[in-house]
Amino acid sequence: MSLLNSRKLAWQLLILLAPLGTAQPGSAIAGTLSFAQCVDMALHQNPDLIASRAQIEQAEAALRQARGSRLPKLTASLTATRTNDALNAFGIKLSQRQASFNDFGFSQFDPANPNLLNVKPDTLNYPGNVNNFNTRLEAQLPIYTGGMITGNIEQAKALIRAAQSGDIAARQKLIYQVLQAYQGVHSARAMVQVAKQAEIAANSQVKTITSLVKGGVVVKSDLLSAQVRQQDTRIQLLQAQNAEASALDQLHLLLGLPLNTPLDVGAAVMTPASTVSADDLQLQALSSNPGVQAQRSQVEAAQANVKVSKANLYPQLGLLARQDWNDSKLGFAANSYTLAGTLSWTVFDGSVTQSAVDRASAVRNEQAARLQQTENAVAADVARARRQSAEAEFSLTAREQAIESAEQATGLVEKRYANGVATITELLAAQTQLDKARADVVRAQYELAIQRASLLLALGQLDPAQY
């Protein structure tokens, strides 16, 4: 059975078995994934992004909480009381509409008593045990809070924007890391091919020099030097193979897959080049970089917090509506209502409020300074990535041209060596130069893709759809 048919059968079996159970994240067979598929898998399973989405949910919940404080607050309560306290007992009787003249001690009233005014009525001072069940509905509505509610809403909205921008930044960073690992696999495999070419050339040289030694054309030391070179190429091949395995391991980790999950990469990708001027690139970065946008939202949140802190410097106005029922047993025998408006203003609190305002202002100033620092860093990242991208592009062109020259030079030295004109040192040096030229092309290709991606990352425009 061909490899294509085997993979087709495997996918058919996977589709048939899928309804039988839900696979855990990272437990499915990965197979061969394109760069877009790798990014999609990483974005759905990476723990950093899960935490980032949780931060957005926290900010959205805070906004709902802030908006809810504008609405009336309705509470219901039931309070059961039993007391023989004279003041409370009399008040409870009034609330229950049960107070009588006898509760004032009129049974002890005697007009003929010259000390009548000094009589202490027992029923008033010693009322006995009184029971009360108070059922209450109360609504409170804030009318003016000195800007506290508005400030909380503005702060929550700013924190949502900051969390959303932070989520975009985390996604872009993850895409960049996936690109590094994905292209790292291709780069390592290209280095494996370079090492194999070097090994084939070294084997061929050893074979040729062995024949020349047997024919007495060259000395045995040349053969020994060629064999040393042969061993070096085998070591380089092993190192390249290990680099390929390490790149695949890193890709496994980014995708949230166990290391034993079969995984291969699709076609190599190259980051598109930018033709925008350096000044325009920096302007784009300052307007679209998610890290800068998140920091700006943090500044806005800090400014809103200053407004919240200042709220206690202003008067607070609210309304209250209350309905009560009081009964000696559980019920609704006696009802009453209360309507009230409350205006309060803290005149002096020992500078507690002003200190809170000063603290919030200092936090805002700190966030503003961090914003300036972030903007400067992003501008520097854009300039550096643009320079390094141009350098990598020039380097790739030069390295590709160098391969042709190195191949021709190696061929000439081989002929000269076979004719006894060149030394073994010249031959090995030429072959080493050719191997290096091939390896340099691989490195330049990887560096170009990564540096261009770094530029897009700094701009906040790294999108897998571009590949």
Per the prediction, the chain carries an average pLDDT of: 86
Please name the residue that has the structure tokens 């092309």. 441
Confirm whether 252 is domain-assigned. Answer: yes
Average confidence (pLDDT) over 89-115 = 85
Please name the residue that has the structure tokens 């004109």. 421
DSSP 272: P
For residues 395 and 154, the answer to whether their CB atoms sit within 8 Å is no
pLDDT at 428: 77
What pLDDT digit, counting tens, does each position of 221-253 carry? 888 888 898 898 899 899 989 999 999 999 999
What pLDDT digit, counting tens, does each position of 132-170 carry? 999 999 999 999 999 999 999 999 999 999 999 999 999
Q: How far apart are CA 460 and CA 463, in angstroms?
A: 9
Structural domain boundaries enclosing 135: 76-145+317-344
160 and 288: one domain? Answer: yes
Using alpha carbons only, give the angle 454, 290, 174 rounded to the nearest 5 degrees.
Answer: 50
pTM, to two decimals? 0.73
109 and 179: one domain? Answer: no
277 and 373: one domain? Answer: yes
88 and 232: one domain? Answer: no
The total domain count for the chain is 2
177 and 59: one domain? Answer: yes
pLDDT at 231: 93
Confirm whether 6 is domain-assigned. Answer: no
Q: How far apart are CA 132 and CA 351, in angstroms?
A: 44
- Which of 74-83, 109-118, 181-190, 320-329 is the least confident region? 109-118
pLDDT at 202: 85
pLDDT at 466: 75
Confirm whether 374 is domain-assigned. Answer: yes
**Percent of the chain predicted with pLDDT > 90:** 51
Confirm whether 16 is domain-assigned. Answer: no
Residue 143, H or E segment: strand 130-144
| Res. 70: pLDDT tops 50 | yes
How far is CA 103 from each of CA 109, 119, 130, 205, rounded to the nearest angstrom?
12, 14, 12, 124
Q: How far apart are CA 231 and CA 223, in angstroms?
A: 12
pLDDT at 29: 56
Q: How far apart are CA 444 and CA 453, in angstroms?
A: 14
The residues with which 82 forms a beta bridge, in sequence order, are 131
402 and 460: one domain? Answer: yes
Q: How far apart are CA 438 and CA 399, in angstroms?
A: 8
pLDDT at 3: 35
35 and 173: one domain? Answer: yes
Candidates 91, 250, 172; CA nearest to 462 is 172
For residues 463 and 208, the answer to whether their CB atoms sit within 8 Å is no
Residue 30 confidence class, pLDDT cut points 50, 70, 90: low
- Locate all alpha helices (DSSP H) within 215-317, ordered by sequence: 220-255, 278-288, 290-310
What pLDDT digit, counting tens, does each position of 164-221 carry? 999 999 999 999 999 999 999 998 988 888 888 888 888 888 888 888 888 877 788 8
- Would you state the structure tokens that stand for residue 123, as one six-digit string? 């029923």
For residues 382 and 459, the answer to whether their CB atoms sit within 8 Å is yes
105 and 220: one domain? Answer: no
137 and 264: one domain? Answer: no
- Would you state the structure tokens that stand for residue 452, as one six-digit string? 């261009």
Q: How far apart are CA 43 and CA 50, in angstroms?
A: 9
Candidates 406, 401, 390, 407; CA nearest to 448 is 390
Q: Which of 344, 359, 389 is the last residue of a domain?
A: 344
Confirm whether 11 is domain-assigned. Answer: no
The residues with which 139 forms a beta bridge, in sequence order, are 74, 321
- Would you state the structure tokens that stand for residue 268, as one six-digit string? 């190599």
For residues 82 and 131, the answer to whether their CB atoms sit within 8 Å is yes
Residue 115, H or E segment: none
Q: How far apart are CA 198 and CA 191, in angstroms?
A: 10
Residue 22 confidence class, pLDDT cut points 50, 70, 90: very low
186 and 211: one domain? Answer: yes
| Res. 465: pLDDT tops 70 | yes
| Res. 366: pLDDT tops 60 | yes
Residue 9 confidence class, pLDDT cut points 50, 70, 90: very low
98 and 231: one domain? Answer: no
- Which of 13-17, 164-168, 386-390 is the least confident region? 13-17
CATH code for the domain in which residue 274 is found: 1.20.1600.10
Count H helices and E strands in the chain, helices first. Answer: 11, 6
- Which of 47-51, 236-240, 332-336, 346-350 is the least confident region? 47-51
Confirm whether 162 is domain-assigned. Answer: yes
> Please, what is the end-to-end C-alpha distance for the chain in angstroms?
33
Backbone angles phi, psi at 127, to 5 degrees: -75, -10
Confirm whether 238 is domain-assigned. Answer: yes
What pLDDT digit, counting tens, does each position of 391-449 carry? 999 998 998 888 888 888 888 888 887 787 788 778 778 888 888 888 888 888 999 99
Confirm whether 432 is domain-assigned. Answer: yes
244 and 321: one domain? Answer: no
CB proximity list for 271: less than 8 A, separation 6 or greater: 179, 448, 449, 450, 452, 453, 456, 466, 467
